[in-house]
Structure formats: structure tokens, C-alpha cells
């Protein structure tokens, strides 16, 4: 992985460690993220500058030394607050892999992911540890076993340090019709969808769907469709597929349409992400 320079993001992946991906940037002052979500667990170290950090309904101001934590499928955004070099390192982990690690430590009654209650920490040891992990992962001289051990050690320590416990109260069950709308989108996002299609699948009126869907999922149905397409594109690009082919497969009108959406949701071009 080349070291990030200026505003060009750098991505690290290793086929031997398919459960983790790292993104870094040295100067992201011109980057702007739209509200988005990942099906991965995400954690990042802010290494320079200042930014606003939106996680769900919580907005924070963060600077160097912050560790931001984003649970899967939570709408979030992090954008520079001033004209100064804003740098960070962001790690994306497969939720299933992390759930197994949690279960091995006694969290949860089944091997299902337990969301982190804390979404921001200033603990110096967690910040230093995340940066040390980055150095190990991007070092071409380190073998896959060393890297996997380092990942396991850090996230074991993170779990023990923050020790999130499941809420005692029973969470409110999702509206089953809204869940059907989300499931319909999940199964059809690569084709051209009309609001009518989603409403019919969920037996909901357009006005209710738009209002309630955003309340439950943190984004409008349209944004949810685009987000799913972008997640699909990320997976295809990691496999080395051609950008034009990925755009067509994902349901974008053309490559330019994919470029615009990808920059909004990932703050990088598809070419930069694919590497």
C-alpha cells in the first residue's frame, strides 16, 4: 500500500486477510462525504486536523487523537471543519469475523455481533494501538500470520477496553412493512426501481414510506438504493472488475453516474478505490 499523499486516498487489502480493509488519507480538507452506511464495522484514527463527526443522530467535533467507531449499517459522515490538513486511517472489518471474536470473549449468547455502545473515544492507548496496527498491515515485510495476529490482538483489546454490554431494555421491533421494503431493495437494487415498486412490495403509501423509512434506517429509500449499489461496487472493484462493467452491473446509468455517486459515498473515485 503506497503511503497517502495530499488528497489522494490510499487503500490496503490483502487476499490472505479478506475480513479487513484500510483506507488512509494525508490531506482530506477538500473531501466531502454524504450520509452513508456500511455493512462492515468501521473504526478510524484521526491523525491530523479537525472535523465534524456524525454518527446516527449524534454530531461531534473531533481532532487528532480521536478514535471514531461506527457500528454496521449506521448512517454516518465525517467532514473537515476548517481549511487545514485533515488526515485519518479508517479500518473496515467484516461483521461476522468480529462477531466470532466477541463470542470467543463471552459477549452475546450466540455468534452475533454486539454493537459498540461507545462511538467515540479519546483513549491514548486505543489511538496508539490503531496506528501501530496500521503500520503492521501496510508493511510489505510482515507476513499474513503476523498481520492477522495483530488484528486479533487489537480488536480483543478494544472489546475489553470499551466492554459494550447489550441494552437491558428490549429494543423496539422494526416495522415489518418497512423491513419488507428494505428487503425488496436488497434484492432488486441493481435494476431500475420506482417508488411505486417499493410501496407495492411493502404495502405502504409513498408518503409514509419516505418518512418512516428514514426514521428507521437513517436514509431515504433512494439513498438506501444508492448505498446498496455502492457497497456492491466496492466488492466488485476489490475483485478487479472493470469500472464500466461494475457501473452497468450495479444499475447505474453509466460510468459517470457511478463516479459521482462513488465520490459522494466513499470520497474517492472508483479507480482510486480499486488501486
155 contacts: CB under 8 Å, gap ≥ 6: 93, 98, 101
The partner residues of 21 in beta bridges, in order of sequence, read 92
Residue with cell 481532532: 63
In angstroms, the CA 206 to CA 203 distance is 10
| CA angle, 5 then 10 then 14, to 5° | 145
Of the candidates 198, 191, 195, 261, the one whose C-alpha atom is nearest the C-alpha of residue 233 is 261
CB atoms within 10 A of CB 227: 25
Using one digit for the tens of pLDDT, what is the confidence trace for 6-45? 678 899 999 999 999 999 988 877 777 778 899 999 999 9
pTM of this prediction exceeds 0.75: yes
pLDDT of residue 96: 93
In angstroms, the CA 207 to CA 102 distance is 40
CB atoms within 10 A of CB 34: 17
Domains of the chain: 10-162 (2.60.120.10), 176-274 (1.10.10.60)
Whole-Å CA distances, 116 to 88, 119, 209: 21, 7, 29
Alpha carbon 185 to its chain centroid, in Å, reads 19
Describe the strand order of the beta sheet including 58-63 as a list of residue ranges: 58-63, 50-55, 76-80
Using one digit for the tens of pLDDT, what is the confidence trace for 200-229? 999 988 888 888 898 888 888 988 999 999
DSSP for 172-230 reads: PPPPHHHHHHHHHHHHHTTS---HHHHHHHHT--HHHHHHHHHHHHSS-HHHHHHHHHH
pLDDT of residue 169: 46
pLDDT of residue 1: 58
Residues of the chain with pLDDT under 50: 166, 168-171
pLDDT of residue 231: 95
Amino acid at each position: 500500500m503506497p503511503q497517502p499523499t495530499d488528497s489522494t486516498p490510499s487503500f490496503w487489502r490483502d487476499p490472505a486477510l479478506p475480513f479487513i480493509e484500510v483506507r488512509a488519507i494525508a490531506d482530506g480538507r477538500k473531501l466531502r462525504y454524504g450520509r452513508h452506511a456500511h455493512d462492515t464495522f468501521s473504526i478510524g484514527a484521526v491523525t491530523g486536523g479537525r472535523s465534524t463527526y456524525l454518527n446516527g443522530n449524534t454530531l461531534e467535533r473531533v481532532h487528532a487523537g480521536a478514535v471514531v467507531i461506527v457500528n454496521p449499517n449506521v448512517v454516518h459522515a465525517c467532514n473537515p471543519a476548517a481549511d487545514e490538513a485533515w488526515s485519518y486511517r479508517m479500518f473496515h472489518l467484516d461483521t461476522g469475523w468480529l462477531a466470532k471474536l466477541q463470542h470467543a470473549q463471552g459477549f452475546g449468547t450466540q455468534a452475533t455481533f454486539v454493537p459498540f455502545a461507545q462511538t467515540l473515544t479519546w483513549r491514548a492507548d486505543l489511538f496508539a494501538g490503531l496506528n501501530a496496527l496500521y503500520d503492521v498491515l501496510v508493511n510489505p515485510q510482515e507476513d499474513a500470520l503476523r498481520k492477522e495476529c495483530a488484528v486479533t490482538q487489537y480488536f480483543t483489546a478494544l472489546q475489553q477496553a470499551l466492554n459494550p454490554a447489550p441494552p437491558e431494555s428490549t429494543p423496539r421491533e422494526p416495522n415489518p412493512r418497512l423491513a419488507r421494503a428494505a428487503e425488496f431493495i436488497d434484492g432488486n437494487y441493481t435494476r431500475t426501481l420506482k417508488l411505486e415498486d417499493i410501496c407495492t412490495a411493502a404495502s405502504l403509501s409513498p408518503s409514509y414510506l419516505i418518512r418512516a423509512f428514514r426514521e428507521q434506517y437513517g436514509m431515504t429509500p433512494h439513498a438506501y438504493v444508492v448505498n446498496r449499489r455502492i457497497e456492491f461496487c466496492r466488492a466488485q472493484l476489490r475483485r478487479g472488475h472493470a469500472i464500466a462493467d461494475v457501473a452497468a452491473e450495479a444499475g447505474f446509468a453509466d460510468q459517470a453516474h457511478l463516479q459521482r455517486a462513488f465520490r459522494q459515498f466513499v470520497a474517492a473515485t472508483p479507480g482510486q478505490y480499486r488501486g
